A and B are shown apart, each in its own frame.
Chain A
Amino acid sequence: MSSPVDYTAIFIQFIVAMGFVVTTMVVSHNAGPKRKTSDKLEVFECGIDSEGNARMPFSIRYFLTAILFVMFDVEVIFMYPWAVNFKALGAAGFYEMLLFVGTLLLGFIYIWKKGALKWE
């Protein structure tokens, strides 16, 4: 169904988008005034000097969310081919997917009960 010409069009769109962004960057770099002082080039902090490096350890919950996302996103991607061929697979396909989603839900309930989704 898709032909190479379709992907060529996407590539052209990519070039147009890149062209716009690069032009904007170059123009804005050259158009604005350049009166830089050391105070201006410091990172922003509310009226006081910035303390230390910003790249500090942060809450483990964000990391946990990212890990869970990777797992569940892969599951969602597995469901796409099933959904596309859904009518061709018939009832057997539905039962097989019930098994798959059932396993997925078990894992989901497990992380829920473990408190991985709690943010308080």
Chain B
Amino acid sequence: MSVLIFKVILIVIIFLISLGLAAYATYGERKVAAFLQDRIGPDRAGPFGLLQPIADGVKMFLKEEIIPTVSDKFLFILGPSLFMVTALMTSAVIPWGTPMEFGGVTYHLQVADINIGILYVLGVVSLGVYGIMLGGWSSNNKYALLGAIRASSQMISYELAMGMSVIAVLLISDGSLSLNAIVEGQKGLNWNVFYQPLAALIFIITAFAECNRTPFDLPESESELIGGYHTEYSSMKLGLYLFAEYINMFISSAIISSLFFGGYNFPGLEYLQTVLPTNLVSLISFGAFFTKILFFIFFFMWVRWTIPRFRYDQLMRLGWQVLMPLAIINVLITGAVVTFFGN
């Protein structure tokens, strides 16, 4: 029973971190953009503009809610809700740090250590496509529909290469889909990225495409499609779409870190475990994991303000004719190496 209470506390903490981080990622995005373009960025609301995300949130809540008369009202509301729920669900299988201990009972810093781990992530992420498709279709607006079709077509195309790149990681790890086991297998600096650099690169690129981030933000390319699939949305329904995108970015960064960059592992963790109390080490490992996540979020922003958007045919060619074959070849080569030169 106490395990369940711990899980509930953990769920709430991770939920709050997701929301807080997503809110401040919008601020970070604007500050990074300003830095890269030699501007100052938001600096009016509070010291250094730190209250800007809160001001934006309040503004979103106080805007008028518009639902076009020709739209399908139920699906129109369901779209952003589904998108947000799936974004908040993915974090369940991520291991956040080494186990904690209270009164002789060990608690894993992971909401659910299920043995289908990474499959759960891929499954929930692909449900997110429904959120976009429902929103775009129900709007009954040509721009929204085009944006939604583009988005779903792009997301399903890149999912294939993503799934393939994960298989290469499974081949070199000890044969478990559980993210906890995958992270445990990367102790010290024994990170998967050094054994599977190509898989890591493919996974990062596909993660950008799944999050609809530049250079893959064609679903909402404003010069052709106004706002893409959320053209008709206003008030907090638009807020949920935008917010969920930042949560997806956070979760993607967490999954990239756990699959390829050692998760909460860092050189010297074993040594610290022998000299420091368990719970302190747990917090330190959580800090290490979080540093990696923040780096990848910064990386997402860095790319956004550096690389221009692809054309749609280029995007599809990259997904199907470059990343797919590369991922398949990578799986075959990894399989051959492990079979004939393993151990």
Contact across chains for B65 and A28 when beta carbons are under 8 A apart: yes
Contact across chains for A80 and B92 when beta carbons are under 8 A apart: no
Smallest CB gap from B174: residue in A: A87
Instruction: Report which residue of A13, A56, A90, A97 has the largest number of chain B beta carbons within 10 angstroms of its beta carbon.
Output: A13
Q: Which residues of A contact B65 (CB under 8 A)?
A: 28-29, 32, 34
Contact across chains for B85 and A18 when beta carbons are under 8 A apart: yes
Q: Which residues of A contact B204 (CB under 8 A)?
A: none
Report B50 CB to chain A, min CB distance, Å. 23
Contact across chains for A24 and B64 when beta carbons are under 8 A apart: no
Q: Which residues of A contact B170 (CB under 8 A)?
A: 80, 83-84, 86
Known: A76-B160, A84-B175. A6 touches B68 (CB 8 A): no
**In the complex, A2→B110 CA distance in Å?**
12
**In the complex, A48→B177 CA distance in Å?**
53
Contact across chains for A101 and B66 when beta carbons are under 8 A apart: no
Interchain CB contact (< 8 A) of B149 among A36, A58, A105:
A58
Interchain CB contact (< 8 A) of A117 among B164, B176, B321:
B321
Known: A16-B15, A41-B67. A28 touches B61 (CB 8 A): yes
Report A74 CB to chain B, min CB distance, Å. 11
**In the complex, A42→B178 CA distance in Å?**
48
Smallest CB gap from B85: residue in A: A17
Q: Which residues of A contact B174 (CB under 8 A)?
A: 87
Q: Which residues of B contact A69 (CB under 8 A)?
A: 156-157, 159-160
Size band of the interface chain B makes with A:
35 or more
Contact across chains for A9 and B7 when beta carbons are under 8 A apart: yes
Contact across chains for A10 and B338 when beta carbons are under 8 A apart: no
Q: Which residues of A contact B214 (CB under 8 A)?
A: none
**In the complex, A88→B176 CA distance in Å?**
12
Contact across chains for B232 and A73 when beta carbons are under 8 A apart: no
Known: A1-B178, A86-B170. A54 touches B139 (CB 8 A): yes
B38 part of interface (Cβ distance < 8 Å): no
Report A100 CB to chain B, min CB distance, Å. 11
Known: A2-B114, A72-B160. A17 touches B88 (CB 8 A): yes
Interchain CB contact (< 8 A) of A44 among B157, B167, B231:
B231
Smallest CB gap from B60: residue in A: A28
Q: Which residues of A contact B144 (CB under 8 A)?
A: 54
B272 part of interface (Cβ distance < 8 Å): no
Contact across chains for B15 and A20 when beta carbons are under 8 A apart: yes
B145 part of interface (Cβ distance < 8 Å): yes
Q: Which residues of A contact B145 (CB under 8 A)?
A: 54-55, 58
B143 part of interface (Cβ distance < 8 Å): yes
Report B290 CB to chain A, min CB distance, Å. 19
**In the complex, A27→B317 CA distance in Å?**
44
Q: Which A residues, 29 to 80, have Cβ-Cβ distances below 8 Å to chain B?
A: 29, 31-36, 38, 40-46, 50, 53-56, 58, 62, 65-66, 69, 72-73, 76-77, 79-80
A112 part of interface (Cβ distance < 8 Å): yes
B211 part of interface (Cβ distance < 8 Å): no
B294 part of interface (Cβ distance < 8 Å): no
Contact across chains for A85 and B175 when beta carbons are under 8 A apart: yes
Contact across chains for A105 and B328 when beta carbons are under 8 A apart: yes
Contact across chains for A43 and B71 when beta carbons are under 8 A apart: yes
Contact across chains for B92 and A10 when beta carbons are under 8 A apart: yes
B191 part of interface (Cβ distance < 8 Å): no
Contact across chains for B339 and A43 when beta carbons are under 8 A apart: no
Contact across chains for A62 and B84 when beta carbons are under 8 A apart: no
Q: Which residues of B contact A6 (CB under 8 A)?
A: 112-114
Q: What would 13 A/B residue contacts be, using CB atoms closer than 8 Å?
A: A8-B4, A9-B4, A13-B89, A27-B61, A32-B235, A36-B64, A42-B70, A44-B143, A44-B226, A50-B142, A55-B145, A79-B331, A83-B170
7 new A-B contacts at CB < 8 Å, known A16-B15, A21-B81: A2-B114, A8-B7, A10-B114, A13-B112, A62-B153, A80-B167, A119-B317
